Amino acid sequence: MIFPLSIVSFFGLVCLALLASPYPFLAPGAVLGLVGVAVLFRKPAWGLLGIAALVPLEGFFKDSALSGTKLIGASLALILMLQLALHHIPSERLRSNIWRLLIGFMALYLLSMLTTDDLGMSLGHLREISVGLILFVITLLIGRELNLDLFARLVTLSVTLTCALAMFSSKYQDQGRAAGLLEDPNAFAMLIAFAVPLALLLMIRSPQMLQRLFWLGCFILLLGGMTKTESRSGLVVLFLSLMIGAWHYRAQLPRIRPRHLGFAMLGLAIVIPLAIYAMPAGYVARIQSLSILSSGAKAQDESLGRRASYIVVGSQMIRENPLLGTGPGTFPLHYATTGYAKAFSANRKVGDLYRRAHNTYLEIFSELGIPAGLLFVGMLALGFYNLMRARRAWMQRRNWQQADLMTHLGMSFLSLTLFLMFLSAPNQKYVWIMLALTSVLRLKAEESPILEAKA
- Residues 357/310, Cβ–Cβ less than 8 Å: yes
Determine the Cα–Cα distance for residues 356 and 333; give it in Å rounded to an integer: 9
pLDDT for position 410: 92
Pick the more confident residue, 442 or 28.
442
Q: What percent of the chain has pLDDT over 90?
A: 37
Among 78-87, 139-148, 346-355, the minimum mean pLDDT is found in 346-355
Give tens-digit pLDDT for 159-190.
999 988 888 777 777 777 777 777 788 888 89
Q: Sign of the C-alpha dihedral, residues 258, 260, 265, 269?
A: positive
What pTM was estimated for this model as a whole?
0.84
Sort strands 177-178 and 173-174 into parallel, antiparallel or unpaired. antiparallel
| Mean pLDDT (the chain, rounded) | 80
Determine the average pLDDT of the residues in 213-237.
Answer: 85
pLDDT for position 299: 47
Rounded to the nearest 5 degrees, what angle is found at the Cα of 354, between the Cα atoms of 369 and 294?
A: 75
pLDDT for position 291: 54
pLDDT for position 454: 46
Q: Which amino acid is at 232?
A: R
* CA dist list (Å): 106 to 99, 145, 328, 331, 368: 10, 28, 11, 18, 10
- Residues 415/197, Cβ–Cβ less than 8 Å: yes
Determine the average pLDDT of the residues in 229-234.
Answer: 79
Give tens-digit pLDDT for 360-369.
999 999 999 9
Helix axes 400-419 and 370-396, enclosed angle (nearest 10): 160
Helices (H) and strands (E) in the chain, counts: 21, 2
Q: Which amino acid is at 178?
A: A
Helix (H) or strand (E) run with residue 379 in it = helix 370-396
Given a cut of 60, is residue 276 above it in pLDDT?
A: no
Burial of 287 (0-12, 13-18, 19+ CB in 10 A): middle
Determine the Cα–Cα distance for residues 386 and 371; give it in Å rounded to an integer: 22
- Show contacts of 100-105: CB within 8 Å, 24+ apart: 101/375, 101/378, 101/379, 101/382, 102/136, 102/375, 102/379, 104/371, 104/375, 105/372, 105/375, 105/376, 105/379
Give tens-digit pLDDT for 299-313.
455 677 788 888 888
Determine the Cα–Cα distance for residues 348 and 351; give it in Å rounded to an integer: 8
- E strands, 305-369, are none
pLDDT band of 82, cuts 50, 70, 90: confident
Give residues with Cβ within 8 angstroms of 181, minimum separation 6.
56, 57, 58, 59, 60, 62, 162, 165, 172
Q: Sign of the C-alpha dihedral, residues 129, 387, 98, 317?
A: negative
Give tens-digit pLDDT for 433-455.
999 999 999 999 998 887 554 44
Q: Residues for the chain: how many in total?
A: 455
Helix axes 44-54 and 148-168, enclosed angle (nearest 10): 20
Given a cut of 80, is residue 101 above it in pLDDT?
A: yes
- Residues 82/188, Cβ–Cβ less than 8 Å: no
Q: Sign of the C-alpha dihedral, residues 29, 30, 35, 38?
A: positive
Determine the Cα–Cα distance for residues 401 and 160; give it in Å rounded to an integer: 24
pLDDT band of 297, cuts 50, 70, 90: very low
Determine the Cα–Cα distance for residues 369 and 38; give it in Å rounded to an integer: 44
Determine the average pLDDT of the residues in 314-324.
Answer: 92
Burial of 47 (0-12, 13-18, 19+ CB in 10 A): buried
Nearest to 376 by CA among 115, 107, 126: 107
Pick the more confident residue, 45 or 271.
45
Domain locations in the chain as residue ranges = 5-42, 53-291+367-452
pLDDT for position 29: 56
pLDDT band of 340, cuts 50, 70, 90: confident
